[in-house]
Amino acid sequence: MADFSLHEAPFDIEVLRAPLAHARAGAYASFEGWVRDHHDGRAVAGLFYEAYAALAEAEGAKVVAEARARFDVIEVRCAHRVGELSIGDLAVWVGVTAAHRDAAFAACRYVIDEIKARVPIWKRERYVEGDAGWLHPLSR
């Protein structure tokens, strides 16, 4: 499995997390991003993620590699959904193992922040009123 992956269907966190298990690991940190029912005061009915897959996978892999190089971690993985998602669906997951919690937390935060800022994945929200709109990447 790739260090960064895009998924059209829901993914199983246990499957994603399994490669992170290691005898040297004393800490595991993860982040789950879910589809919420509101944004900027508007009721959201669902959303659609679109990605330039080849570039997204390459840039996502770079982010994961940077986290490995910058922090004292054992393993780092990230998965992101594309396609149509409903309220409550898991949109993005980051998992990190390290010997100590500080490194695991820091690397996890780094990965999600950099993925949102750099990886070409765009979000189109569908609003309860019936209209929809693409969001700026930093508001994903």
- pLDDT tens string 24-65: 999 999 999 999 999 999 999 999 999 999 999 999 999 999
Are the C-beta atoms of residues 28 and 104 closer than 8 Å to each other? Answer: yes
Q: Does 83 fall in a domain?
A: yes
Q: Does 134 fall in a domain?
A: no
Max Cα distance, the chain (Å)? 51
Q: Does 13 fall in a domain?
A: no
Q: Record the pTM.
A: 0.94
Predicted confidence (pLDDT) per residue in 60-86, tens digit? 999 999 999 999 999 999 999 999 999
Q: Does 22 fall in a domain?
A: yes
Half-sphere exposure of 124 (CA within 13 A, CB side): 11
Domain ranges, residue 95 = 4-8+18-127
**Which CATH number belongs to the domain containing residue 36 in this structure?**
3.90.1170.40
Q: Does 33 fall in a domain?
A: yes
Q: In 3-state terms, what secondary structure has residue 32?
A: strand
Burial class of residue 74 in the structure, from the number of CB atoms within 10 Å of its CB (0-12 exposed, 13-18 middle, 19+ buried):
buried
Q: In 3-state terms, what secondary structure has residue 129?
A: coil
